[in-house]
């Protein structure tokens, strides 16, 4: 067996190779960016080279720290080094295997019972580029007298202090996690697990694996949806550390471009807004803005006054709706139909009593042309059209709906009176998180306003020109190769991609473009804390990824929202029948056994039948509780903050700032972890919130309270 010093020398060689590849990529990218070319073929090759080298350099820059984290020794003597990316020698032989490659899988899945052809697995503990030490798992006895236990590397990672950002787990992926990460499922994969099972980390590593094995997904980017901005900041470094940068991070309140909100509705309003009944309510709200006048609307022209009657408006509405267009897109059809009818009316009224224009087609045509020209400029007509078929934004539609009892009674007539009352508010534009899917639904029904449609037409023309240019370029480049192994430019780029790269007016990244475009279609979507999403939330997300390529993360036991999922089948089967699969993580890596026992009692009290994960470790430190007087609470909290590592104070409502600690509500703490947690007034927390708050600590937990504790906290050691 080689010594750790030998491994250090080999890893130093890997870094030499890594540095050489990164320097070469930087040179090639710079050369490509500086290249000039006047012909379409030269420009195409330049764009392709820039794209390839930019992607290559991004992967190389992400893999520097902890480049190599493990090694396997096979029975046949083969030694394989496993790391963040793959490296080849000059003869194209592997020096380092990418962790996502099939050859690296035994590193994660081998056990003493099923060694998968290995005699040893070695874990390197690194800091930056330095190898500090190593732990061995020996699968054939007698191979190494000094090997550590199989959990040594994992336990070392679990006991390491938290830094305030999620770390990737690429070096310590466990077998049950690896099975999910590499799952070849093309639909929706649900990863369920209790607190600390690593489900979020597994989901993010699964994305990296999918983009490695299906690189076409990366062309449309990845959407990662999390419960709140602090959580997104916490996980934001994981995918870049794995070499994936085309990622949009968002909360449910961010999914409509131009609107951001974190305001929560009252439970009744959230329940109603999250239900599928709102699809019909919004459709009815749109339909009721396509009106017919109760009384004729006069339109004064130079020679005659014409009227928009109920019959004219009804016929125009039927004509517009028959086209199958969205509301704003159908408005010109309605307007044209009204204008046509008024022009005919003008012809008849101008000629009434002194001529018969219908018997003089040329005269009628002239009158009709004049009337149409005058009607197009008529302000009364424009005002009438705005009243009968207004151009609407989603915000205008819903603000008018929520602030008008009359509109609510009309559009939401199918809802119970109490549910209609839950939707009403004085300020219709006081947007909440639960409003975002409703606004998105409205946007689907309304379509873009005229100014946006005009811009889209210009963009479509440019795209068509670009596609024509691209096709010409590819025809120029598609020559017969001299050698069957020669790579042609046409093999590296297609017309769509080349046209996209050729667009000179938009140099934003994929992530920037996707975040600004409501109709952007993503290659893959990750949904965290998915148990909180309503049926209406799912409609938004499925529009963003109609291929149903999702990784869904959640824990039904932690559901807080009244509109959230009560089962995964109820949430997903209607949208992806037969195209979703469910996997459960059973081992808790974050929360030590002493704290998990307390959390289990709380869960059993409010959600019987739900199970908690099995804790992977014990710290020997018992969580405690102390009762104080209300006037002592703030000072007692500040006195308790201290000790090594990160500290969080979690209170049921906003709490004064505490030096040396992060102060959070349970909702803000979701998905986060800290070395120590101080829980304040748990008796005032919703049971689901209390369960979440209890399971944020990796080492130490204390409780301060001013009133008697809930029965579920009886395991806490009482401090006097």
Full set of structural domains in the chain with CATH = 3-148 (no CATH), 167-256+520-585 (3.40.50.300), 267-286+393-447 (no CATH), 291-388 (no CATH), 593-718 (3.40.50.300)
According to the model, what pLDDT value does residue 145 have?
39
Above 90 in pLDDT, residue 698?
Answer: yes
Mean pLDDT of 407-431: 97
Mean pLDDT of 428-455: 90
Mean pLDDT of 1-15: 87
**Half-sphere exposure (Cβ direction) of 198: Cα atoms closer than 13 Å:** 29
Higher pLDDT, 585 or 58: 585
Return mean pLDDT, the chain. Answer: 86
Higher pLDDT, 205 or 498: 205
Mean pLDDT of 470-478: 49
The answer to whether residues 702 and 679 touch, using CB atoms and an 8 Å cutoff, is yes
Query: Residues with Cβ < 8 Å from 703, sequence gap 6 or more?
Result: 623, 624, 625, 626, 678, 679, 680, 682, 709, 713, 716
The two three-digit tokens of residue 143, written as one number: 């191979």
Percent of residues, the chain, with pLDDT higher than 70: 84
CA distance 156 to 159: 5
The helix (run of H) or strand (run of E) holding residue 668 is helix 666-669
Least confident of 351-355, 369-373, 374-378, 659-663: 351-355
According to the model, what pLDDT value does residue 348 have?
86
Annotated binding residues, written as ranges, equal 193-200
CA distance 563 to 438: 14
The two three-digit tokens of residue 606, written as one number: 């409010």
Read off the pLDDT of residues 305-337 as tens digits, 9 standing for 90 and up.
999 999 999 999 999 999 999 999 999 999 999
Q: What is the 3-state secondary structure (H, E, C) of 138-170?
A: ECCCCCCCCCCCCCHHHHHHHHCCCCCCCCCCC
Strand ranges in 572-650 using DSSP code E only, listed in sequence order = 580-585, 587-588, 614-615, 624-627, 647-650
According to the model, what pLDDT value does residue 147 have?
38
According to the model, what pLDDT value does residue 592 have?
93
Annotated binding residues for ATP, written as ranges, equal 193-200
Above 50 in pLDDT, residue 207?
Answer: yes
According to the model, what pLDDT value does residue 44 have?
64
Q: State the DSSP string of 398-411.
A: HHHHHT-HHHHHHH
Mean pLDDT of 649-661: 95
Predicted TM-score (pTM) of the model is 0.83
According to the model, what pLDDT value does residue 607 have?
82
Q: Is 24 helix (H, G, I), strand (E, B) or coil?
A: helix
Above 80 in pLDDT, residue 428?
Answer: yes
Above 90 in pLDDT, residue 407?
Answer: yes
Per-residue confidence band for 472, with pLDDT thresholds at 50, 70 and 90: low
Q: What is the DSSP letter of 250?
A: E
Per-residue confidence band for 485, with pLDDT thresholds at 50, 70 and 90: very low
Read off the pLDDT of residues 631-646 as tens digits, 9 standing for 90 and up.
999 999 999 998 888 9
Task: Point out which residues pair with 120 in neighbouring strands.
Answer: 73, 138
The helix (run of H) or strand (run of E) holding residue 335 is helix 327-351
């Amino acid at each position: 067996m080689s010594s750790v010093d030998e491994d250090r020398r080999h890893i130093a060689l890997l870094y030499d190779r890594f540095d050489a590849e990164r320097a070469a990529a930087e040179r090639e990218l710079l050369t490509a960016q500086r290249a000039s070319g006047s012909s379409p073929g030269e420009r195409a090759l330049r764009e392709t080279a820039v794209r390839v080298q930019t992607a290559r350099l991004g992967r190389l820059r992400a893999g520097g720290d902890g480049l190599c984290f493990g090694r396997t020794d096979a029975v046949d003597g083969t030694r394989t080094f496993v790391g963040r990316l793959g490296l080849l020698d000059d003869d194209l032989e592997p020096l380092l295997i990418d962790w996502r490659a099939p050859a690296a899988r035994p590193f994660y899945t081998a056990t003493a019972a099923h060694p998968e052809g290995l005699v040893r697995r070695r874990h390197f503990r690194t800091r930056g580029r330095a190898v500090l030490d190593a732990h061995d798992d020996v699968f054939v006895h007698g191979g190494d007298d000094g090997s550590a236990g199989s959990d040594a590397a994992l336990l070392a990672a679990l006991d390491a202090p938290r830094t305030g950002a999620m770390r990737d787990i690429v070096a310590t992926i466990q077998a049950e996690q690896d099975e999910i990460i590499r799952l070849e499922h093309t639909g929706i994969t649900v990863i369920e697990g209790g607190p600390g099972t690593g489900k979020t980390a597994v989901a993010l590593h699964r994305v990296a694996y999918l983009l490695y094995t299906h690189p076409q997904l990366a062309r449309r980017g990845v959407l990662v949806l999390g419960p709140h901005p602090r959580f997104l900041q916490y996980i934001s470094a994981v995918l870049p550390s794995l070499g994936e940068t085309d990622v949009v991070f968002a909360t449910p309140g961010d999914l409509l471009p131009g609107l951001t909100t974190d305001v929560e509705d009252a439970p009744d309003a959230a329940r109603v807004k999250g239900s599928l009944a709102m699809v019909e309510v919004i459709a009815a709200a749109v339909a009721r803005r396509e009106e017919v006048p109760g009384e004729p609307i006069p339109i004064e022209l130079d020679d005659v006054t014409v009227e928009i009657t109920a019959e004219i408006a009804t016929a125009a509405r039927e004509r517009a709706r028959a086209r199958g267009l969205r509301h704003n897109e159908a408005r010109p059809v309605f307007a044209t139909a009204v204008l046509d009818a008024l022009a005919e009316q003008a012809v008849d009224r101008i000629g009434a009593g002194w001529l018969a224009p219908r018997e003089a087609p040329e005269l009628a045509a002239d009158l009709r042309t004049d009337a149409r020209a005058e009607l197009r400029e008529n302000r009364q007509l424009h005002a009438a059209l705005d009243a009968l078929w207004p151009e609407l934004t989603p915000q205008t539609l819903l603000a008018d709906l929520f602030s008008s009892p009359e509109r609510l009674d009309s559009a939401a007539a199918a809802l119970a009176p109490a549910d209609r009352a839950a939707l009403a508010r004085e300020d219709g534009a006081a947007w909440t998180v639960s409003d975002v899917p409703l606004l998105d639904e409205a946007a689907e029904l309304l379509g873009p306003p005229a100014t946006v449609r005009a811009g889209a037409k210009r963009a479509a023309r440019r795209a068509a020109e670009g596609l024509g240019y691209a096709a010409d370029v590819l025809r120029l480049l598609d020559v017969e190769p001299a050698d069957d192994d020669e790579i042609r430019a046409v093999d590296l780029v297609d017309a769509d991609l080349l046209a996209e790269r050729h667009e000179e007016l938009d140099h934003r990244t994929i992530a920037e473009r996707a975040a600004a475009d409501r109709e952007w279609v993503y290659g893959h979507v990750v949904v965290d804390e998915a148990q909180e999403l309503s049926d209406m939330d799912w409609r938004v997300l499925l529009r963003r990824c109609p291929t149903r390529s999702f990784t869904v993360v959640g824990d039904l036991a932690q559901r807080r929202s009244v509109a959230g999922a009560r089962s995964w089948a109820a949430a997903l089967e209607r949208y992806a029948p037969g195209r979703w699969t469910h996997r459960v993580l059973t081992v808790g890596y974050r929360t030590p056994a002493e704290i998990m026992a307390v959390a289990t009692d709380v869960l059993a009290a409010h959600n019987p039948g739900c199970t908690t994960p099995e804790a992977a470790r014990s710290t020997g430190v018992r969580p405690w509780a102390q009762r104080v007087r209300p006037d002592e609470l703030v000072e007692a909290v500040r006195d308790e903050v201290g000790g090594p590592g990160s500290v969080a104070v979690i209170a049921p409502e906003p709490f004064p700032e505490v030096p040396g600690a992060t102060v959070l509500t349970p909702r803000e703490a979701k998905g986060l972890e800290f070395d120590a947690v101080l829980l304040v007034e748990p008796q005032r927390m919703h049971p689901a919130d209390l369960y979440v708050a209890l399971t944020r600590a990796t080492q130490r937990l204390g409780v301060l309270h001013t009133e008697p504790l809930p029965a579920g906290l009886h395991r806490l050691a009482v401090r006097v």
